[in-house]
Amino acid sequence: MQANLEWENKRANLRLFENAFKEVDHDAQLVILPEMFSTGFTMDPLKHAESMNGKSIKWMKTFAEKLDTTLCGSLIIEENGCYFNRLLVVNQKGEIKTYDKKHLFRYADEHQHYSAGSSHLILSIHQVKLAFFICYDLRFPVWTRNTHLKYDVAIYIANWPEARSSHWNALLKARAIENQAYTVGVNRIGDDKNGISHSGDSAVYNPKGEKISITNPHEYKVENISLDIEKLYEYRSKFPTHLDADQFKLL
């Protein structure tokens, strides 16, 4: 879902996505919302953070059940006195998996307001293995490396500025090629209160680096897209670069 977020206005943003849900295919298996979808990319967690029992998470549970699907997106979460840019994956049963953003965006002082995560999130939905990342993580290939083919699809949710949209597009394509996986990038559009413009450029790339989505920059769009996982496995079998990948460990 590529949409313009209202700055620090949870009520308006949740209403926005409630309307957008009407455009989701009835058999959708995953619905992806942008980074900090309820507030925009604010550096005021003290004012906007919620607990894991907060209103926005309850909202996600409600609509995952109504749509009979899985929702994902990130919120500002307070836990044990720390604030996290936390991606939540919520299924129709109300079950929640989480990923805390590993690479905090120093250029916007995110590291001064939020705590970094240290663990990956990879899970299966309908037997498709999905890895979840947030925005700035896209710039760090070691963190997203798929050496042992642990995932089939890498999902990046973002508030990525238009000024660096060429980087966004290039890196989504590169991550797909080097990891032999689909990459899905979901970004916001519009200007935030700091005057930063976002062009969206939400996109899906196949493992050959080919763009297979049709969302345009600056366009409000709910794009329904299917990924052919069998073609992915066939491509890996014919062109098995993962067998020659360098082995390394994160310290």
What is the distance, to the nearest Å, from the Cα of residue 97 to the centroid of all Cα atoms in its chain?
A: 13
**Amino acid code (one letter) for 145:** R
Annotation says 135 is catalytic: yes
Annotation says 72 is catalytic: no
d(CA 180, CA 237): 11
Catalytic residue among 6, 35, 110, 162: 35
Contact, 43 vs 113, CB < 8 A?
yes
Look-up: residue for tokens 């409600």? 62
How many residues make up the chain in this entry? 251
Annotation says 8 is catalytic: no
Catalytic residue among 50, 110, 135, 173: 135
Contact, 71 vs 64, CB < 8 A?
yes
Catalytic residue among 10, 61, 72, 101: 101
| Helix or strand holding residue 12 (H, E) | helix 10-20
Catalytic residues: 35, 101, 135
